[in-house]
Amino acid sequence: MDISFIDKRLEGIYSKVLNGSRLSKEDGIYIYETHDLIGLGQIANHVRRSLHANKAFYIYNQHLNYTNVCKNRCRFCAYARDRKEKGAYTWSIDEIEKRLLERIDEPVNELHIVGGLNEALTFDYFIALLKTVKKVRPKATIKAFTCVEIDYLSKLAKLSIKQTIQKLKQAGLEMMPGGGAEILNSRIHGELFPKKINHERWLEIVRAVHEAGIKTNATMLYGHIETIEERVDHLITLRQLQDETKGFSAFIPLAFHSENTKLTHIQSTTAVDDLKNVAAARLMLDNFDHIKAYWVMIGEKLAQVALSFGADDLDGTIIEERITHMAGAKSALGLTKEQMEDMIIKAGFEPVERDSFYNPINSS
Residue whose CB is less far from another protein, 286 or 342: 342
**Contact pattern for another protein over residues 41 through 80, marking x by CB under 8 A:** xx--x-----------------------------------
Count Cα neighbours of 301 within 13 Å in the Cβ-side half-sphere.
4
Please, which residues have CB within 8 angstroms of residue 80's CB and are 6 or more apart in sequence?
Answer: 68, 69, 70, 72, 73, 74, 116
How many other β-carbons are positioned within 10 Å of the β-carbon of residue 277?
A: 29
- Residues 199 and 188: their CA atoms lie apart, in Å, by 10
Size of the site for another protein (CB under 8 A): 30
Single out the residue of 185, 308, 324, 356 in contact with another protein (rule: CB under 8 A): 308
The least distance separating another protein from the CB of residue 52, rounded to whole angstroms, comes to: 14
- Residues 6 and 8: their CA atoms lie apart, in Å, by 6
Single out the residue of 343, 351, 353, 354 in contact with another protein (rule: CB under 8 A): 343
Residue whose CB is less far from another protein, 5 or 126: 5
76, 224 in Cβ contact below 8 A?
yes
The least distance separating another protein from the CB of residue 358, rounded to whole angstroms, comes to: 23
**Contact pattern for another protein over residues 193 through 232, marking x by CB under 8 A:** ----------------------------------------
Q: Which helix (H) or strand (E) holds 55?
A: strand 55-59
**Contact pattern for another protein over residues 19 through 48, marking x by CB under 8 A:** ----------------x-xxx-xx--x---
The least distance separating another protein from the CB of residue 357, rounded to whole angstroms, comes to: 28
The least distance separating another protein from the CB of residue 76, rounded to whole angstroms, comes to: 20
- Residues 231 and 252: their CA atoms lie apart, in Å, by 13
- DSSP class of 140: S
- Residues 210 and 88: their CA atoms lie apart, in Å, by 33
Residue whose CB is less far from another protein, 115 or 223: 223
111, 176 in Cβ contact below 8 A?
no
Residues 261-280 that bind another protein (CB under 8 A): 267, 270-275
The least distance separating another protein from the CB of residue 110, rounded to whole angstroms, comes to: 25
Phi-psi region of 315 (alpha: psi -120 to 50; beta: other; left: phi over 0): left
The least distance separating another protein from the CB of residue 272, rounded to whole angstroms, comes to: 5
Name the E strands within the chain.
Answer: 55-59, 61-64, 110-113, 141-144, 175-176, 215-222, 248-255, 290-291, 313-316, 350-353
The least distance separating another protein from the CB of residue 45, rounded to whole angstroms, comes to: 5
Please, which residues have CB within 8 angstroms of residue 73's CB and are 6 or more apart in sequence?
Answer: 80, 82, 195
Give residues in contact with another protein (CB under 8 A).
3-4, 6, 35, 37-39, 41-42, 45, 267, 270-275, 298-299, 301-302, 304-305, 308-309, 342-343, 346-348
